[in-house]
Amino acid sequence: MGKVSIKDVAARSGVSVTTVSHVLNDVPGKRIADATRDRVRRAAEELGYAPSSVARNLRLQRSQMLALISDEIATTPYAGRMILGAQEAASKAGWLLMLVNTGADPEFEAAEIQALRQRQVDGFLYATMYHQKVVVPEALAGMPTVLLDARSADDAIPSVVPDEVGGGRTATEELIRHGHTRIGFVTNVDDIPATRGRLEGYRAALRDAGLPYDKSLVVADTSDTDGGLEATRKLLSATNRPTALFCFNDRMAMGAYHAAAELGLRIPQDLSVIGFDNQELIAEGLRPRLTTVALPHYEMGAWAVETLIANIEGHDLGGPQHTVLTCPLVARNSVA
Amino acid sequence: MGKVSIKDVAARSGVSVTTVSHVLNDVPGKRIADATRDRVRRAAEELGYAPSSVARNLRLQRSQMLALISDEIATTPYAGRMILGAQEAASKAGWLLMLVNTGADPEFEAAEIQALRQRQVDGFLYATMYHQKVVVPEALAGMPTVLLDARSADDAIPSVVPDEVGGGRTATEELIRHGHTRIGFVTNVDDIPATRGRLEGYRAALRDAGLPYDKSLVVADTSDTDGGLEATRKLLSATNRPTALFCFNDRMAMGAYHAAAELGLRIPQDLSVIGFDNQELIAEGLRPRLTTVALPHYEMGAWAVETLIANIEGHDLGGPQHTVLTCPLVARNSVA
């Protein structure tokens, strides 16, 4: 038998889902007949609604409310699926998830965390728009917390991040699998975990395939379309130009498309291109559609919520967990 | 003199902003010496911190907490700046803004609203990812509410939406200003306010310029890159093809770029293109960069919060307000 839902209770007691919610949550000011209240409570009991963890949380005066504190995930187009994964995992477990966007302002962030603590939030997800090392705000001290797309320097707090090395390897192996031996890496100038990890994965894949690592095939620029255009122009102007490019992200890959068009090179016949991020506006918008490597945003959000709830409920997870999730290949039409 | 901030209180009392927040909010469990507490309270009083509305709200046991309920703004790349505008307006007024993403599931939505009401949220923003008519959920009955990027059928609730007609007019006038007289409209098949409004604006601009409305120059398709490509192919295959295109959104404009490239037409020399939305990943990513019309997402978010707070605080705004905000031109390089 599947999990009993509020819909089942509503069906059995012959009232709306809203009424069930009013009765079971003791919402004040609702005119609901006592007989109806009894019927709803009996139906919930008979069906075994209000799973044991919910009942325990009520007893322990837990609010069943989590907060996701982030810099700017909700307001930028990059990592929204992280929020979706967190929201859906919370909802499935019967918890409420609030989002607070701090715009990376530490003073505002501290005030918001304070306000949430006063409102009895049981735990926090501390999330960043892209994978980075963070200093966990002091205001979170003593609260159950999980880092989402971030790690702390001392690793004292559970965290989940994408497998940047594995993702770089996956992208490069996809190009090798198609027979390419001169593979350029259009990378990013920022010294962040993604830059270091993806380069490491690129080199590992070359090494495993017995291909030499040629530094002249790695060109760094800003992590946007302009940067990708500029870096690709450099790579394609070499006498022995690469036949395939691994681009740090999909925006840089978009720049690689522009550079190829300038030179009259067709993708993928004359040049294969693979991106990173699976930014759908770009990857689905380019022609040919862009083969890329996805960040596991949804899965990271879900993992973080599940781990946070387990920690709040006191399940022994054997110390802080640090999880690294796979970045899968999303094959489209830009590699041949 | 500007508004006194928590920073001023911290500076005057010689403690950190966090300590000021702890003292003024009576956060339990903080070891702060009584002398320090006195100093902070005195500094706040002397500076006139805790503006009158905050004091009144405390007296009235308001939570100063607002909730933004939305379908999927936070998890998709389209309208995040609406959240940013709302967040910054709330923060400026000293209110906390929570976000809840419901994924457009009415049952989940009702449960979340219920939970937020139990937690003494003072008011709600009910927001949709794109401008639409909505049925306001029953769970919001009796609560101060403002619709954000949405209107209700009966207009009983304050709302803010973009000026779709004005935006369509702005886009078309920009093309007319550059001397174009055969202007195609690559539009969307969905019967939504944006589709109707932008067409009305297109027709109004033609009429005002004394240009005929030619139905064969309006082609509708799906509102994505594929749809834009397909519709543009049709428009450009006509014997007397248009010299400029107004596209329903930036994704469709991206498709128009692909269609132009297929035919060897250069933008803007052979074909001018203007989009709508100012979706930066696309508009800044295309070459030439895309001239477009922006949705006033940030401004709508800010307006909605300001109006909601005014309603909660009982300022007489003279009945429900319905505001329509301007969609401004963002000129880049695709029109000549």
Contact A281 B284 (CB under 8 A): no
Instruction: Give me the percent of chain A exceeding a pLDDT of 70.
Output: 93
Is B164-293 the same fold as B6-50?
no
Per CB-CB distance under 8 Å, the chain A contacts of B65 are: 115, 119
Task: Answer whether A305's CB lies under 8 Å from A145's CB.
Answer: no
**Which segments of chain A does DSSP mark as H helices, in order?**
6-13, 17-24, 34-47, 52-59, 80-92, 106-118, 164-177, 193-208, 225-236, 250-262, 280-283, 297-312
- Listed ranges A81-85, A118-122, A165-169; the one with the highest mean pLDDT: A165-169
- The span from the CA of B91 to the CA of A213, in Å, is 51
pLDDT along chain B (336 residues), means of 10: 73 86 71 87 80 52 84 82 90 86 81 81 92 90 94 90 98 98 98 97 98 97 98 95 98 98 97 97 97 96 95 78 95 98
**Mean pLDDT, residues A32-61:** 72
| CA of A17 vs chain B CAs: smallest distance (Å) | 7
Counted across chains A and B, CB pairs separated by less than 8 A come out at: 149
Whole-number pLDDT of residue A52: 45
Per CB-CB distance under 8 Å, the chain A contacts of B108 are: 91
Whole-number pLDDT of residue B1: 39
CA of B141: which chain A residue's CA is closest?
A: A30
Dihedral (CA of A299, A300, A301, A307) sign: positive
Query: Is CATH 3.40.50.2300 the classification given to domain B65-163+297-326?
Result: yes
Contact A251 B281 (CB under 8 A): yes
- The span from the CA of B265 to the CA of B260, in Å, is 5
Q: Please state the ipTM of this predicted complex.
A: 0.80
Per CB-CB distance under 8 Å, the chain A contacts of B254 are: 285
| CA of B264 vs chain A CAs: smallest distance (Å) | 12
pTM listed for this prediction: 0.82
Instruction: Identify any residues that bridge with A132 across adjacent strands, giving them in sequence order.
Output: A150
Smallest Cα–Cα separation from A274: which of A160, A156, A170? A170
Contact A77 B75 (CB under 8 A): no
Whole-number pLDDT of residue A170: 98
Instruction: Give me the percent of chain A exceeding a pLDDT of 90.
Output: 59
- The span from the CA of B131 to the CA of B323, in Å, is 13
Whole-number pLDDT of residue A26: 65
**Closest CB from A80, A98, A255 relative to B98:** A98
Indicate the pLDDT class of residue A72, thresholds 50, 70 and 90.
confident
What CATH fold (topology level) applies to the domain B6-50? 434 Repressor (Amino-terminal Domain) (1.10.260)
| CA dist A252 → A116, A120, A233, A248 (Å) | 39, 43, 12, 7
Per CB-CB distance under 8 Å, the chain A contacts of B118 are: 25, 27
Of the candidate CATH numbers 3.10.129.10, 3.10.290.10, 3.10.20.30, 3.40.50.2300, the domain formed by B164-293 belongs to 3.40.50.2300
Q: Where along chain B do its domains lie? A: 6-50, 65-163+297-326, 164-293
| CA of A159 vs chain B CAs: smallest distance (Å) | 21
| CA of B299 vs chain A CAs: smallest distance (Å) | 14
- The span from the CA of A81 to the CA of A84, in Å, is 5
**Closest CB from A96, A110, A225 relative to B115:** A96
Structure tokens at A94: 């019967």
Q: Which of B99, B109, B233 to mutate to test the interface with A (most CBs of A within 10 A)?
A: B99
Whole-number pLDDT of residue A327: 98
| CA dist B270 → B180, B182, B242, B336 (Å) | 12, 13, 10, 9
Token match 């003791």: residue? A26
β-bridge pairing B65-70 and B322-325: unpaired
Query: Is CATH 3.40.50.720 the classification given to domain A65-162+298-325?
Result: no
| CA of A66 vs chain B CAs: smallest distance (Å) | 11
Task: Answer whether A304's CB lies under 8 Å from A125's CB.
Answer: yes
Contact B87 A97 (CB under 8 A): no
Q: Which residue has the higher pLDDT, A3 or A246?
A: A246
